[in-house]
Amino acid sequence: MELELNYKIRPKAHQSVRLTKKGFSYTPKNIKIYRSEIIRQTKLQLPKDYKIIETSKPIIVEKLHYIFKYPNTFNKDQRSKFAYRISYPDLLDNINKAFIDALEGVVFENDKSICHVKELKKYYGESYGIKIKLLY
């Protein structure tokens, strides 16, 4: 089976859990808002008869692209050429954590089922977005 989802949202890095002065942990508000928006957009795109991917099934991420809006400093020539984004958030940890955690419980039961990522990119585009294609 195949599932392709597109999001119109600015990719965010997952910030580690914060601690209050009294030592209680909490998730920052902006991460909660980001996560709920990912869930909302996911539910709008899922087929009506979609069944959550069970933990026992291996998931292959065919593509996972994080698209960031061109900076205002880019001129027309720079915007016409493909450009990778070489800055924070880092691709292999923080940016994936927030997004994949938001899909857990909606698209798949547990993210431990993801066993292979073929194409993982972070680049500039005309608008913010995330594209993911799963095979299971």
- CATH code of the domain in which 39 resides: 3.30.1330.70
How far is C-alpha 5 from the chain's CA centre?
10
Residue-range definition of the domain harbouring residue 77: 2-135
pTM over 0.85: yes
Q: Which residue has the higher pLDDT, 86 or 39?
A: 39
Contacts with 96 (C-beta within 8 Å, 6 or more apart), sequence order: 64, 120
Determine the pLDDT at residue 26: 85
Q: Note the pLDDT tens digit of each residue in 39-56.
A: 999 999 999 999 999 999
Comparing CA positions, the residue from 52, 43, 77, 62 lying closest to residue 121 is 62
The Cα–Cα gap between 89 and 87 comes to 6
Tally of CA atoms within 13 A in the half-sphere of 131 that contains its CB: 13
Comparing CA positions, the residue from 97, 102, 107, 91 lying closest to residue 2 is 107
pLDDT band at 28 (very low <50, low <70, confident <90, very high): confident
Q: Note the pLDDT tens digit of each residue in 89-130.
A: 777 778 998 899 999 999 999 999 999 999 999 999 999 999
Residue 23 has pLDDT above 90, yes or no: no
Beta bridge partners, 65, equal 121, 131
Percent of the chain with pLDDT over 90: 73
Number of domains present in the structure of the chain: 1
